Amino acid sequence: MEFTAATIAGFLKGEIEGDPEIKVNTIAKIEEGEAGALSFLANPKYEHYIYETKSSIVLVNKSFIPSAKVGATLIRVENAYDAFASLLRLVDQARPRKKGIHPTAIIEDSAKVGSDVFIGPYVYIGENCNIGSGCSVYPHVYIGDNTKLGNNCTLNPGVTIYHDCIIGEGCIIHAGSVIGSDGFGFAPQSDNEFMKIPQLGNVVLEDHVEIGANVTIDRATMGSTFIRKGVKLDNLIQIGHNVEVGENTVMAAQTGISGSTKIGKNCMFGGQVGLAGHLKIANNTKIGAQGGILGDVKEENTAIIGSPAIEVKQFLRSSVIFRKLPEMKSKIDSIEKEIESLKKK
Protein backbone atom coordinates (compact mmCIF):
# COMPACT_ATOMS: atom_id res chain seq x y z
CA MET A 1 0.00 0.00 0.00
CA GLU A 2 1.14 3.52 -0.76
CA PHE A 3 0.15 6.78 0.90
CA THR A 4 1.06 10.42 0.34
CA ALA A 5 2.02 12.80 3.13
CA ALA A 6 -1.22 14.67 2.47
CA THR A 7 -3.28 11.51 2.96
CA ILE A 8 -1.48 10.62 6.18
CA ALA A 9 -1.76 14.16 7.53
CA GLY A 10 -5.46 14.17 6.74
CA PHE A 11 -6.01 10.91 8.61
CA LEU A 12 -4.00 12.12 11.63
CA LYS A 13 -5.19 15.74 11.46
CA GLY A 14 -1.55 16.78 11.31
CA GLU A 15 0.38 19.67 9.78
CA ILE A 16 2.82 19.08 6.89
CA GLU A 17 6.26 20.64 6.61
CA GLY A 18 7.72 19.67 3.26
CA ASP A 19 6.36 17.90 0.18
CA PRO A 20 2.67 16.95 0.61
CA GLU A 21 2.82 14.63 -2.42
CA ILE A 22 5.78 12.52 -1.29
CA LYS A 23 4.80 8.87 -1.00
CA VAL A 24 5.62 6.06 1.44
CA ASN A 25 5.00 2.34 1.13
CA THR A 26 6.69 0.96 4.25
CA ILE A 27 7.52 1.84 7.85
CA ALA A 28 10.91 1.90 9.55
CA LYS A 29 12.63 2.94 12.76
CA ILE A 30 14.05 6.42 12.36
CA GLU A 31 17.63 5.14 12.67
CA GLU A 32 17.00 2.56 9.93
CA GLY A 33 15.04 4.83 7.58
CA GLU A 34 15.10 4.45 3.81
CA ALA A 35 13.49 6.17 0.86
CA GLY A 36 9.76 5.45 0.79
CA ALA A 37 9.60 4.77 4.55
CA LEU A 38 7.55 6.42 7.28
CA SER A 39 9.16 6.89 10.73
CA PHE A 40 8.37 8.78 13.91
CA LEU A 41 10.25 10.74 16.56
CA ALA A 42 8.80 10.85 20.08
CA ASN A 43 11.75 10.26 22.42
CA PRO A 44 14.24 13.20 22.54
CA LYS A 45 17.09 10.67 22.91
CA TYR A 46 16.59 9.79 19.24
CA GLU A 47 16.50 13.35 17.92
CA HIS A 48 19.95 13.16 16.34
CA TYR A 49 18.66 10.51 13.92
CA ILE A 50 16.14 12.87 12.35
CA TYR A 51 18.94 14.94 10.80
CA GLU A 52 20.44 11.93 9.01
CA THR A 53 17.50 9.59 8.44
CA LYS A 54 16.68 8.58 4.87
CA SER A 55 12.99 8.11 5.68
CA SER A 56 10.72 10.11 3.39
CA ILE A 57 8.24 11.14 6.10
CA VAL A 58 8.71 11.51 9.87
CA LEU A 59 5.93 12.08 12.40
CA VAL A 60 6.94 14.53 15.12
CA ASN A 61 5.25 16.26 18.04
CA LYS A 62 3.94 19.77 17.37
CA SER A 63 6.33 21.02 20.04
CA PHE A 64 9.42 19.69 18.22
CA ILE A 65 11.94 22.41 17.28
CA PRO A 66 14.74 21.14 14.99
CA SER A 67 18.26 22.33 15.70
CA ALA A 68 19.45 21.64 12.13
CA LYS A 69 18.05 21.07 8.66
CA VAL A 70 15.76 18.05 8.27
CA GLY A 71 15.66 16.37 4.86
CA ALA A 72 12.47 14.39 5.44
CA THR A 73 8.96 15.74 5.14
CA LEU A 74 7.58 16.30 8.65
CA ILE A 75 4.02 15.74 9.80
CA ARG A 76 3.37 17.50 13.10
CA VAL A 77 0.80 15.89 15.43
CA GLU A 78 -0.15 16.21 19.10
CA ASN A 79 1.50 12.90 20.04
CA ALA A 80 3.82 11.25 17.51
CA TYR A 81 3.87 7.89 19.29
CA ASP A 82 0.07 7.62 19.46
CA ALA A 83 -0.26 8.80 15.86
CA PHE A 84 2.23 6.18 14.65
CA ALA A 85 0.32 3.50 16.57
CA SER A 86 -2.90 4.59 14.85
CA LEU A 87 -1.24 4.24 11.45
CA LEU A 88 0.05 0.77 12.33
CA ARG A 89 -3.48 -0.28 13.27
CA LEU A 90 -4.75 1.09 9.96
CA VAL A 91 -2.14 -0.87 8.01
CA ASP A 92 -2.81 -4.02 10.01
CA GLN A 93 -6.56 -3.79 9.41
CA ALA A 94 -5.95 -3.35 5.67
CA ARG A 95 -4.15 -6.69 5.38
CA PRO A 96 -6.13 -9.40 3.61
CA ARG A 97 -7.75 -11.74 6.14
CA LYS A 98 -8.06 -15.49 5.73
CA LYS A 99 -11.55 -16.97 5.71
CA GLY A 100 -13.12 -20.39 5.57
CA ILE A 101 -12.83 -23.70 7.38
CA HIS A 102 -9.94 -25.97 6.46
CA PRO A 103 -10.96 -29.58 5.64
CA THR A 104 -8.56 -30.99 8.26
CA ALA A 105 -10.24 -29.04 11.09
CA ILE A 106 -12.37 -31.17 13.41
CA ILE A 107 -15.54 -29.46 14.65
CA GLU A 108 -17.91 -31.54 16.79
CA ASP A 109 -21.51 -31.65 15.54
CA SER A 110 -22.86 -29.91 18.65
CA ALA A 111 -20.50 -26.93 18.26
CA LYS A 112 -21.78 -23.68 16.78
CA VAL A 113 -19.56 -21.57 14.52
CA GLY A 114 -20.48 -18.01 13.52
CA SER A 115 -20.14 -16.34 10.14
CA ASP A 116 -17.06 -14.88 8.48
CA VAL A 117 -14.60 -17.08 10.39
CA PHE A 118 -11.26 -18.67 9.63
CA ILE A 119 -10.65 -22.12 11.08
CA GLY A 120 -7.16 -23.30 10.12
CA PRO A 121 -5.64 -26.76 9.55
CA TYR A 122 -5.79 -29.33 12.35
CA VAL A 123 -7.90 -27.21 14.68
CA TYR A 124 -10.10 -29.08 17.15
CA ILE A 125 -13.35 -27.55 18.44
CA GLY A 126 -15.09 -29.59 21.11
CA GLU A 127 -18.69 -30.41 21.93
CA ASN A 128 -21.14 -27.59 22.68
CA CYS A 129 -18.57 -24.90 21.87
CA ASN A 130 -19.74 -21.55 20.56
CA ILE A 131 -17.36 -19.73 18.20
CA GLY A 132 -18.35 -16.11 17.52
CA SER A 133 -18.49 -14.42 14.14
CA GLY A 134 -15.33 -12.94 12.67
CA CYS A 135 -12.98 -15.17 14.68
CA SER A 136 -9.63 -16.38 13.35
CA VAL A 137 -8.47 -19.72 14.75
CA TYR A 138 -5.04 -20.64 13.42
CA PRO A 139 -3.54 -24.13 12.94
CA HIS A 140 -3.26 -26.64 15.79
CA VAL A 141 -5.51 -24.75 18.19
CA TYR A 142 -7.44 -26.89 20.70
CA ILE A 143 -10.75 -25.62 22.10
CA GLY A 144 -12.26 -27.85 24.78
CA ASP A 145 -15.90 -28.74 25.33
CA ASN A 146 -18.43 -26.05 26.33
CA THR A 147 -16.04 -23.19 25.64
CA LYS A 148 -17.45 -19.89 24.38
CA LEU A 149 -15.48 -17.60 22.10
CA GLY A 150 -16.80 -14.07 21.50
CA ASN A 151 -16.88 -12.26 18.16
CA ASN A 152 -13.70 -11.14 16.40
CA CYS A 153 -11.23 -13.13 18.52
CA THR A 154 -7.85 -14.32 17.27
CA LEU A 155 -6.30 -17.55 18.51
CA ASN A 156 -2.78 -17.94 17.15
CA PRO A 157 -1.11 -21.30 16.38
CA GLY A 158 -0.87 -23.84 19.15
CA VAL A 159 -3.20 -22.13 21.63
CA THR A 160 -4.96 -24.50 24.03
CA ILE A 161 -8.22 -23.58 25.74
CA TYR A 162 -9.54 -26.17 28.17
CA HIS A 163 -13.21 -27.02 28.68
CA ASP A 164 -15.86 -24.61 30.00
CA CYS A 165 -13.82 -21.42 29.57
CA ILE A 166 -15.34 -18.14 28.40
CA ILE A 167 -13.47 -15.76 26.07
CA GLY A 168 -14.95 -12.31 25.45
CA GLU A 169 -15.10 -10.28 22.25
CA GLY A 170 -12.03 -8.97 20.47
CA CYS A 171 -9.56 -11.05 22.47
CA ILE A 172 -6.14 -12.00 21.08
CA ILE A 173 -4.25 -15.03 22.40
CA HIS A 174 -0.75 -15.60 21.07
CA ALA A 175 1.00 -18.85 20.17
CA GLY A 176 1.48 -21.56 22.75
CA SER A 177 -0.64 -20.06 25.54
CA VAL A 178 -2.76 -22.33 27.71
CA ILE A 179 -6.04 -21.12 29.17
CA GLY A 180 -7.80 -23.20 31.82
CA SER A 181 -5.16 -25.74 32.85
CA ASP A 182 -5.53 -27.09 36.38
CA GLY A 183 -4.67 -24.84 39.29
CA PHE A 184 -1.81 -25.96 41.55
CA GLY A 185 -3.98 -27.59 44.21
CA PHE A 186 -2.63 -30.49 46.29
CA ALA A 187 -3.50 -31.52 49.84
CA PRO A 188 -0.60 -32.90 51.97
CA GLN A 189 -1.21 -36.37 53.39
CA SER A 190 0.14 -38.05 56.53
CA ASP A 191 2.47 -40.25 54.47
CA ASN A 192 4.23 -37.17 52.97
CA GLU A 193 2.40 -37.61 49.71
CA PHE A 194 0.04 -35.12 48.11
CA MET A 195 -3.57 -35.68 47.04
CA LYS A 196 -4.70 -33.77 43.96
CA ILE A 197 -7.60 -31.41 44.56
CA PRO A 198 -9.94 -31.41 41.54
CA GLN A 199 -10.11 -28.02 39.83
CA LEU A 200 -13.77 -27.62 38.91
CA GLY A 201 -13.92 -23.94 37.97
CA ASN A 202 -13.01 -22.17 34.74
CA VAL A 203 -11.26 -19.11 33.29
CA VAL A 204 -13.14 -16.02 32.10
CA LEU A 205 -11.44 -13.53 29.77
CA GLU A 206 -13.54 -10.41 29.34
CA ASP A 207 -13.59 -8.27 26.20
CA HIS A 208 -10.45 -6.94 24.47
CA VAL A 209 -7.94 -8.91 26.51
CA GLU A 210 -4.60 -9.68 24.86
CA ILE A 211 -2.54 -12.64 26.06
CA GLY A 212 1.10 -12.98 24.99
CA ALA A 213 2.89 -16.14 23.85
CA ASN A 214 3.38 -19.08 26.23
CA VAL A 215 1.19 -17.65 28.99
CA THR A 216 -0.60 -20.02 31.38
CA ILE A 217 -3.81 -19.07 33.16
CA ASP A 218 -5.06 -21.69 35.62
CA ARG A 219 -8.71 -22.54 36.06
CA ALA A 220 -10.30 -21.89 39.44
CA THR A 221 -10.72 -24.62 42.02
CA MET A 222 -14.34 -23.42 42.26
CA GLY A 223 -15.84 -20.40 40.52
CA SER A 224 -13.67 -18.55 38.00
CA THR A 225 -10.25 -17.09 37.40
CA PHE A 226 -11.06 -13.63 36.00
CA ILE A 227 -9.04 -11.58 33.52
CA ARG A 228 -11.06 -8.40 33.29
CA LYS A 229 -11.75 -6.15 30.31
CA GLY A 230 -8.76 -4.61 28.53
CA VAL A 231 -6.02 -6.51 30.39
CA LYS A 232 -2.74 -6.95 28.47
CA LEU A 233 -0.37 -9.75 29.45
CA ASP A 234 3.13 -10.07 28.02
CA ASN A 235 4.80 -13.40 27.15
CA LEU A 236 5.69 -16.11 29.68
CA ILE A 237 3.32 -15.07 32.47
CA GLN A 238 1.76 -17.45 35.02
CA ILE A 239 -1.65 -16.62 36.53
CA GLY A 240 -2.68 -18.95 39.36
CA HIS A 241 -6.11 -20.36 40.18
CA ASN A 242 -8.90 -18.04 41.39
CA VAL A 243 -6.85 -14.92 40.61
CA GLU A 244 -8.66 -11.79 39.50
CA VAL A 245 -6.80 -9.27 37.32
CA GLY A 246 -8.57 -5.90 37.21
CA GLU A 247 -9.55 -3.91 34.13
CA ASN A 248 -6.81 -2.41 31.94
CA THR A 249 -3.99 -3.84 34.03
CA VAL A 250 -0.75 -4.57 32.14
CA MET A 251 2.00 -7.03 33.07
CA ALA A 252 5.45 -7.47 31.53
CA ALA A 253 7.10 -10.81 30.80
CA GLN A 254 7.82 -13.53 33.36
CA THR A 255 5.47 -12.15 35.99
CA GLY A 256 3.94 -14.75 38.31
CA ILE A 257 0.70 -14.33 40.28
CA SER A 258 -0.05 -16.88 42.99
CA GLY A 259 -3.51 -18.29 43.61
CA SER A 260 -6.48 -16.28 44.92
CA THR A 261 -4.74 -12.91 44.62
CA LYS A 262 -6.99 -10.00 43.62
CA ILE A 263 -5.40 -7.26 41.50
CA GLY A 264 -7.09 -3.89 41.02
CA LYS A 265 -7.74 -1.81 37.93
CA ASN A 266 -5.11 0.04 35.86
CA CYS A 267 -2.12 -1.58 37.55
CA MET A 268 1.29 -1.82 35.86
CA PHE A 269 3.75 -4.63 36.65
CA GLY A 270 7.31 -4.74 35.34
CA GLY A 271 9.08 -7.91 34.23
CA GLN A 272 9.59 -10.81 36.65
CA VAL A 273 7.27 -9.42 39.31
CA GLY A 274 6.13 -12.08 41.77
CA LEU A 275 3.04 -11.94 44.01
CA ALA A 276 2.34 -14.28 46.92
CA GLY A 277 -1.08 -15.89 47.22
CA HIS A 278 -4.30 -14.46 48.70
CA LEU A 279 -3.16 -10.82 48.37
CA LYS A 280 -5.17 -7.71 47.50
CA ILE A 281 -3.51 -5.13 45.27
CA ALA A 282 -5.12 -1.67 45.09
CA ASN A 283 -6.05 0.13 41.89
CA ASN A 284 -3.32 1.96 39.97
CA THR A 285 -0.48 0.13 41.70
CA LYS A 286 2.86 0.23 39.89
CA ILE A 287 5.44 -2.47 40.66
CA GLY A 288 8.99 -2.24 39.32
CA ALA A 289 10.78 -5.12 37.61
CA GLN A 290 11.62 -8.12 39.83
CA GLY A 291 9.42 -6.76 42.61
CA GLY A 292 8.49 -9.37 45.22
CA ILE A 293 5.14 -8.69 46.89
CA LEU A 294 4.50 -10.54 50.16
CA GLY A 295 1.64 -8.48 51.60
CA ASP A 296 -1.41 -6.48 50.55
CA VAL A 297 -1.03 -3.13 48.80
CA LYS A 298 -3.87 -1.17 50.38
CA GLU A 299 -3.36 2.37 49.08
CA GLU A 300 -4.20 3.28 45.50
CA ASN A 301 -1.62 4.94 43.22
CA THR A 302 1.26 3.27 45.07
CA ALA A 303 4.62 2.73 43.32
CA ILE A 304 6.86 0.03 44.81
CA ILE A 305 10.00 -1.86 43.85
CA GLY A 306 12.43 -4.40 45.30
CA SER A 307 12.09 -7.80 46.94
CA PRO A 308 10.43 -7.61 49.35
CA ALA A 309 9.00 -4.54 47.65
CA ILE A 310 9.02 -1.13 49.32
CA GLU A 311 8.02 2.39 48.25
CA VAL A 312 10.17 3.64 45.35
CA LYS A 313 11.76 6.65 47.10
CA GLN A 314 12.61 4.51 50.10
CA PHE A 315 14.09 1.88 47.79
CA LEU A 316 16.30 4.46 46.07
CA ARG A 317 17.56 5.78 49.40
CA SER A 318 18.25 2.21 50.53
CA SER A 319 20.14 1.54 47.29
CA VAL A 320 22.54 4.35 48.07
CA ILE A 321 23.31 2.74 51.43
CA PHE A 322 23.62 -0.70 49.84
CA ARG A 323 26.26 0.53 47.43
CA LYS A 324 28.25 1.89 50.37
CA LEU A 325 28.16 -1.38 52.36
CA PRO A 326 31.70 -2.52 51.42
CA GLU A 327 33.13 0.85 52.51
CA MET A 328 31.04 0.78 55.70
CA LYS A 329 32.21 -2.78 56.44
CA SER A 330 35.85 -1.69 56.15
CA LYS A 331 35.25 1.19 58.54
CA ILE A 332 33.52 -1.10 61.06
CA ASP A 333 36.41 -3.59 60.88
CA SER A 334 38.86 -0.76 61.49
CA ILE A 335 36.86 0.52 64.47
CA GLU A 336 36.66 -3.00 65.95
CA LYS A 337 40.44 -3.34 65.72
CA GLU A 338 40.92 0.02 67.46
CA ILE A 339 38.51 -1.03 70.22
CA GLU A 340 40.36 -4.32 70.74
CA SER A 341 43.66 -2.43 70.86
CA LEU A 342 42.28 -0.02 73.46
CA LYS A 343 41.00 -2.93 75.57
CA LYS A 344 44.44 -4.51 75.62
CA LYS A 345 45.98 -1.22 76.79
**Catalytically annotated residues:** 241
Task: Give the contacts of 281 (CB within 8 A, at least 6 positions apart).
Answer: 261, 262, 263, 264, 267, 275, 293, 296, 297
Q: What share of the chain is helix, strand, coil (3-state, %, to 5)?
A: 20, 30, 50
Rounded Cα–Cα distance for residues 305 and 315 (Å): 7
**Helix-then-strand count for the chain, H and E:** 5, 40
Distance CA 229, CA 210 (A): 10
Residues of 36-63 as b/e, b for ≥16 C-beta within 10 angstroms?
bbbbbbbeeeeeebbeebebbbbbbbee
For helices 312-323 and 325-344, what crossing angle results, to 10°? 50
CA–CA separation, 68 vs 48, rounded Å? 9
